[in-house]
Each structure stands twice: as structure tokens, then as C-alpha cells.
Amino acid sequence: MFKNWREPVLPIPSDLYSEIGQLGDRVRELREDVARIRGQYALLVQSPTSLRVDQLGPQTDPREAAILTHTALRAVDRDLANVEQGIGWAHGPASRISLTDADAAAEHRDQQLVAQRSPVERIR
């Protein structure tokens, strides 16, 4: 058995860096979706005579409901902007991290992964 089998298998920093970038991409896409939907609600606000609301719950004005939805989506976008900024802050220093000896670290990591795998059981 390998002598370092109890050491944790370290993640590869460049893989983590890529994952952070992918997170940023997903947040940008989500912000685009929110902006598109907000734009659609803005159109609804401009046509209040074409709107109505159901009778389930407190009485409300359809235009007011559309404005409240638009406002809430603006708050969502603001929060997502903060998330996007935080991801950017994480992405910068993450680009500087690497394992001390990439070849030796990769070999060690592979050995650890092999040691962690359960043996294949053969059944007849």
C-alpha cells in the first residue's frame, strides 16, 4: 500500500481557477436573463389597461404588481452584481496558485486516487 494513503487528495489549482471562471460565466448569463425579464415587466407597466389581477388575496392594482415585480428583479440584479464582483475578486488571486512540483504532485494525486478506489470484486 502507498505510504501517503491517508493524506487528502489535493485539488488541482488550475482546475479550481477554471471552475471560478465558469461560475462567473453562469452569473453573467443569469444577470442577462434577469435583465431580459425586467425589460418585459417594464413593457407591462407601460400598458396598464391591458393588465388585470386575480381575486386571490388582497386586492391590488395590476400596474402596481408589475412595478413591484420589476423592482424586485432590480434588487436581484444588484445582488447578482455583488456576486459577480466577489467572483472576480476570487478569480484574481486564484490565478496565482499552483502545486509546488506539478509533475510530482500529479503523480502523487494519481497514486492517492488509486489507493482510495475499492478493489473490483469478481462474481461468478
Residue 120 is assigned to a structural domain of this protein: no
Positions in the chain short of pLDDT 50: 1
In a domain, 5, yes or no: no
Predicted local confidence at residue 41, as pLDDT: 96
pLDDT of residue 83: 97
Identify the pLDDT of residue 1: 46
Between the CA of residue 81 and those of 22, 42, 48, what are the distances in Å? 16, 20, 30
The 3-state DSSP class for residue 58 equals coil
Q: Which domain holds residue 28?
A: 13-115
What pLDDT score does 8 carry?
74
What is the pLDDT, as a whole number, of residue 103? Answer: 64
Number of domains within the chain? 1
Q: Is residue 122 part of a domain?
A: no
Between the alpha carbon of residue 96 and those of residues 16, 20, 68, 92, 101, the distances in Å are 12, 13, 44, 8, 14
Q: What is the pLDDT of residue 57?
A: 87
- The answer to whether position 101 is within a domain reads yes
CA angle 24, 25, 28 (to 5 degrees): 85
Per-residue pLDDT, 98:
84
